[in-house]
Every structure is written in structure tokens, then in C-alpha cells.
Amino acid sequence: MHRGYAGTRLSDVADIAEVQAPAIYYYFSSRDDLIEEAVAVGLARARALVEEALAQAPEGLSALDRLGVAVAAHLSTLLTHSDHAAAAIRTVPQLPETMRARHRQAERDYIQIWRGLIADARAAGEIDTGLDAGVSLMVVLGALNWSAEWWDPSRGSLEGVIATAQRLVVRGLRADGGGPPRT
Amino acid sequence: MHRGYAGTRLSDVADIAEVQAPAIYYYFSSRDDLIEEAVAVGLARARALVEEALAQAPEGLSALDRLGVAVAAHLSTLLTHSDHAAAAIRTVPQLPETMRARHRQAERDYIQIWRGLIADARAAGEIDTGLDAGVSLMVVLGALNWSAEWWDPSRGSLEGVIATAQRLVVRGLRADGGGPPRT
Amino acid sequence: MHRGYAGTRLSDVADIAEVQAPAIYYYFSSRDDLIEEAVAVGLARARALVEEALAQAPEGLSALDRLGVAVAAHLSTLLTHSDHAAAAIRTVPQLPETMRARHRQAERDYIQIWRGLIADARAAGEIDTGLDAGVSLMVVLGALNWSAEWWDPSRGSLEGVIATAQRLVVRGLRADGGGPPRT
Amino acid sequence: MHRGYAGTRLSDVADIAEVQAPAIYYYFSSRDDLIEEAVAVGLARARALVEEALAQAPEGLSALDRLGVAVAAHLSTLLTHSDHAAAAIRTVPQLPETMRARHRQAERDYIQIWRGLIADARAAGEIDTGLDAGVSLMVVLGALNWSAEWWDPSRGSLEGVIATAQRLVVRGLRADGGGPPRT
DNA sequence: AATGAATGAGTGTTCATTCAT
DNA sequence: GATGAATGAACACTCATTCAT
């Protein structure tokens, strides 16, 4: 799957599934249909895992720390819990336009979660007002998404990566000064 | 080019060059050869532009601010100066291993520049010691590299993107100004 | 079935029979076996219906009028009584040679009936002696067989088609009533 | 081509053309495109040959005899001048509906010639008024078209077939009695 | 320096057929 | 008696590549 949309051969999929290529047509009506479902499931998975992590986060966390929780969940999804989700996220930009359009809503839904986290942090005065919120979000997600391209266990522990990414993101976004007033 | 290694057809290249596909063989001995050169040139270009920006940076800049200069140069290379460089950087991870190996040195050379910038900043005590330097670097480069996947002029001015990314990165890396770490 | 030998898929047959395709193998050992039986039954049916019509024809009919009876029976078989027979007749020429050979006898048997009718009419002096009997027969059968390609109820009543075809054939074959041939 | 629409393999065509199958795509964009052009050319050929024969027919021929000329031209086209035309005519009814629709006009144009011949003969009182003109036309064309299914040189000379078919058709259609009043 | 024409290797897809249940 | 699941052979089609011009 790391070969991208065009590079993923149906026979590769079949090999992994340990069946012959035509058997796939018993379950999917075409290669595109298969990829589409894989991406849809991957996106849904990523979203579900992040939402779950947020739901299980301890009460009383600052908005920015909740964003840190999402960062950890997204990264750990991408890097371990599911190749599936990682492949989906990285594949989306390569999809042919008509196919990508069909996932736009799922993409938006996922990004919406992040937008909400940033908006909350902003409302709480925890975010540097010198940053463009929309751009910041994409930069942060980019940092996370690209990680699947370079990280492998030999490059340090997963926890180390998560900790560094989290800290980098949270402190990069944080408002100056004494921090937000505790309300 | 945004279709990745496998999705880029020789005839696409030919179309852009406004020649017929076989004409390419007058200049390159194979598709892989063409891609290889394109990637090599792209990587060299990215490196040259960043080095040039650093050379032209005003004296007396702090190490971290120099890193900010590199961020701006890398981003503007990626997003405007050269599709070429952008494509190269994003394509590298998709290349077949034997081909990627041939670029490993160029990749390392480029990353080495960044490593130097971070080491300088660290030596100057400007970088948060709670961060893993290697991981931070990859996270930062990821944030920048992924930008080509989502940015288009309709998403805000290039300058705005650069400013936000720069600020986010620099402040994310910066050592606390003596303020106590938040718990 | 109007898609011909090659165009008829086993799953089409299964759909009509309202079973799944593999169920067919309980009754036939292969697709070719199925087609072979279908053609055989169809040819037998056509023959039986024509023979029956002739047997039930009123006594004292002229030989040529008996041929007209056969025309009506063949046409009505083809167009309504049995898609089966129609399909069989039209499919025969498309069959692979080895398979067709196995039906040659049935084809001959059927044609033999017509040959007999023509011979009788000829013996009775009712047929234009300027016609080649063998060719005439094939031309007449062709006229009838092709009808399944164009006729549908919206093109006029079945009775109208039969009446016109019958008249055309009988008068086309009929010996002149002593009138001089037109020059 | 006698295997029909579904039974015609691209590799068969390639074999005849003495090229490899993919070479066909240099000239046609798909198998259907190839078949479509073949059918279009075949229909145009049939029409052209019949029109030419009519144009070259001696002056002063009765309307019915002109129809006989068309019969001869159609048959000789089908059986010798052009496998192409024969294949086209016999293939049309097997085409998928959307493709057939694209030829409907050409079919109509061709049939229109025949319709005109019959209308002329009818206006001249040369045609049996007991016949339905539309049905007669289809019956006659069917007789001719089917001939390609059974005729081969071993079944008698081409001229013999044409003569018999012509006589059968013309006398079948002809009005009774002393023939039309010569005006 | 470039192209028209063609090819061979491969890829997605269809379909008859098998087999365990 | 029938089906769900799977397979292998064939087919249409794509694409990098070659070669004569």
C-alpha cells in the first residue's frame, strides 16, 4: 500500500489475502471499489480512534492538552494500530479526482474534529494569536501524516516519537506569556 | 507528478514536454533513468535553494532564526519555485528500494543541513531539551513536505503559510524562556 | 439468446432458471452440453410442430397449400410458441464445427420434411420449373428464420405476418397459370 | 466474423491483419470502436453497391424488375463482393442496444431504398395488393440475408442462387392477372 | 532530433468450472 | 439439489520500449 494508488497491484492484495486475484471480485466489483472501501474504512478507523482517545481523556485537561491527546492517538493509529488507516490517509491525495470526491465528506468530518479542538483552545486563549488557525491545523496534520514515511522502530521508540511530536505541536501552538488564565 | 512514482506515465511527461513519448529516449535510456535524474535534480535544487537562503540571511541571526529561514526557503521551494523539487521530495519514499538507495546520499546531504541547524541551535541553548533532536527534525520536515498535498493559493497567501509554519516550528522547538514547564 | 452462441453466458441461463450458475452442473456437464441439448430440443420441437400442423391440415389440400401450412407452423413456432426453437434454429450456424456436426442429422431431418413438400408440389406440377428446388427451399427458410430478428408485436399482428409470408412464398413458388412469362 | 459480436476475439482480427493484438489500439480506441467502424463501413458498402446497381440498370425497367436488380446486387454483395458487408448486416441484430442505436440511421437509410422500390412498384400496380408492404420487405430482406448462413460455392453457382432468389421474390410480390396495365 | 507504427510484458476483469458444505 | 467461495484460462487493454525512417 505504500506504493500508492497507482502502484498497488490487485495481485499484491490477493497475495496478502492468500487467494488468487479473481477471488477479490467475489467481494468487490472492481479494483477501484476495493480501494475505495479500504480508504473509507481507514478514514473511519482513524477518526474513531481519535474520538475514543478524546472520550477517554481525563477530565479537566486544558483544550491544548486535549489536542495533544489527539496528536498521540493519530500518530499511534498511523504507526501501529493500523497500517490500514495510515495507508488510507496517505493515499487520499493520490486518488483520481472523482474517487477522492467521494471521500471528501469523510475527510472533512475527520478534520472537523481537529478544527474543533483548535477552536476550543483558541477560545480558551491557549493558542498563539499570531498563527493562522487553518494553516496551523494542516501543518500539524502534515507533520503527523508524513511520519509514516520515515518512522520505523529502528528510529527510536514509538513513545519517544509521540512524546516529541506532542510536545512540539503543543508548544508550537501555545500562547505566550504565563499561559492561559486558569478559569 | 502528484500521482506518485507508479502513477506517472511516460506519456504524461511527453505531453508536458510537448513531444511524443519515444522522443524521451533520445535523452534518457529508460523511464527509471528519467525519474532518477528528475529526483536527483529536484533534491539538489531544494538543497541549493535552502543553502542560498541561509547564505543570504543577515548576520547575527540566532541559530533558531536561521532554522526559520531554512523553513521559509524549503516551503517556498516546495510550493512555488519548483514543482520539480516538490515532486522529488514527495516521490522519494515511493521509489523502489534499489532506486531509492541511489539517492540516499543526496537525501542525507540535504538532511545534514537541517541537522546542523538544529545542532547549532541546541548548542546555543535555544532548543527545548525535552525534545529528541532527530525526531523533531523529521516531524518538522514532514510538516513542510506534506504542505504540497493540501496547499493551493485559494487556501491563503503563500506568505501567510510560510509565516505560520515558521512561527509554529520555531516556537515549538524553542527552549522555554525560563518559565516553568506546565504540568 | 439472441446474443448468439458466444454471447450467451451461463449466468444468463441461470438467471432465467432462477438458480445460481453452479446449479446448472447438476443437470448438464458443461455449457456446451447445455447448449447442445437446448439446440437438439429446439430442432425437435420445430420439427414436431410442423409435422403436427401438416397432420392436422384438412384433406384435399394442394401440395403447395400444404407447404403454406408448414410456413405458418414454422413461423408461429419461431415467433411465439417457443423461443426455444427459434433460438435453436438461429444459433445453429454459429456453433463451433464439431458441435454443429452433431446436429447435422437433426437439421437434415427437418429440412427433409420441407424437401418432401417441395418435391410433392413439383410432382403435381404446381411449382415454377424455372426455380432451383434446393435453392428455393433455403431462400424460403431464410425468409422465415430471419423473421425472428425483426418481428415484434409492435410491427403488426402475428397473423398478418404469417398471412403475408405464406402468400409471398406460395405465389413465389407457384407455376404460372398458363400465362406467358413476362419478359 | 461469422461468430457474431460476442464471439469475435480481438486476437482473431489481429491474426487476420497479421499484427499483434495491441497494434489494433493504434488505430481504434477499443474493440467496440473497431466493430462499430466495421459495421458502419459494411452497411455503407452494401448500400452503395445496391444504389450503384440501380443507377446502372437499363432504362425502361418495370419497378418490380428494378427491385429484382436490387435483389441481385444485395445478394452478390453479401455472398462475394464483400465479406465485410455480409458480416455487418448479420452482426447488427446482435449488437448491444446502445451500439445498435448508433447504426439505426444507417439501417433505416438502407431499408429506405427498398421501401422506395416497393412503393414504386405498388404505385405502378405491379404488386399484389393482398400483401402487407412492410412485412413483405422484411421477409424479402430476410431471405437474402440468411443466404450468407447456408450458401457456399458447393451449393450451386452464385448466378443460380441469384436467379432463383430474384425470380422467387419478383413473382411472389407480383400482382395477379394479366399484370399491370402497360401505360 | 523526433515520430509513426508496432510489440511484449503485464494488469484488471470475465467466465466456465470446481468443490466443500 | 443447490449454493457460497474460489480458481484457472482467456480476454481487452495499457504502457514502456523498440525501430525504421
In tens, the pLDDT along B3-20 reads 889 999 999 999 988 999
Rg over alpha carbons for chain D, rounded to the nearest Å, is 18
Q: Give the nucleotide at minimum CA-to-C1' distance from D24.
A: E6
Total residues found in chain D within this entry: 183
* pLDDT tens digits, one per residue of A21-78: 999 999 999 999 999 999 999 889 889 999 999 999 999 999 999 999 999 999 998 8
**Residue B119: predicted pLDDT:** 95
* pLDDT tens digits, one per residue of D96-139: 989 999 999 988 999 999 999 999 999 999 999 999 999 999 99
What pLDDT band is residue A183 in, cutting at 50, 70 and 90?
Answer: very low
**Binding partners of D (≥3 Cβ pairs within 8 A):** C
* pLDDT tens digits, one per residue of D61-77: 999 999 999 999 999 98
Q: Is the pLDDT of residue B182 over 80?
A: no
**Least confident interval from A164-168, C29-33, D2-6, D54-58:** D2-6
Rg over alpha carbons for chain C, rounded to the nearest Å, is 19
D182 touches chain C (CB under 8 A): no
* pLDDT tens digits, one per residue of D28-52: 999 999 999 999 998 898 899 999 9
What pLDDT band is residue D81 in, cutting at 50, 70 and 90?
Answer: low
Helix (H) or strand (E) holding B143: helix B133-150
**Binding partners of B (≥3 Cβ pairs within 8 A):** A
D153 touches chain C (CB under 8 A): no
Contacts with C136 from chain D: Cβ below 8 Å: 164, 168
* pLDDT tens digits, one per residue of B35-87: 999 999 888 888 999 999 999 999 999 999 999 999 999 998 888 855 677 77
For chain C, the average pLDDT equals: 89
pLDDT higher at C46 or B80: C46
Long-range contacts of A125-128 (CB under 8 A, 24+ apart): A125/A175, A125/A180, A125/A181, A126/A62, A126/A63, A126/A64, A126/A173, A126/A174, A126/A175, A126/A179, A126/A180, A127/A64, A127/A173, A127/A174, A127/A175, A128/A173, A128/A174, A128/A175, A128/A176, A128/B167, A128/B171
**Residue D154: predicted pLDDT:** 84
A22 touches strand E (CB under 7 A): yes
Q: Give 3-state DSSP helix, strand, coil % of chain C, rounded to 5.
A: 75, 0, 25
What is the average per-residue pLDDT within C101-114?
Answer: 91
* pLDDT tens digits, one per residue of C53-70: 999 999 999 999 999 999
**Residue C53: predicted pLDDT:** 95
Which protein residue has its CA closest to C1' of E14?
Answer: A22
Distance A93 CA to F7 C1' (A): 35
Domains of chain D: 20-173 (1.10.357.10)
**Single pTM value for the model:** 0.86
For chain B, the average pLDDT equals: 88
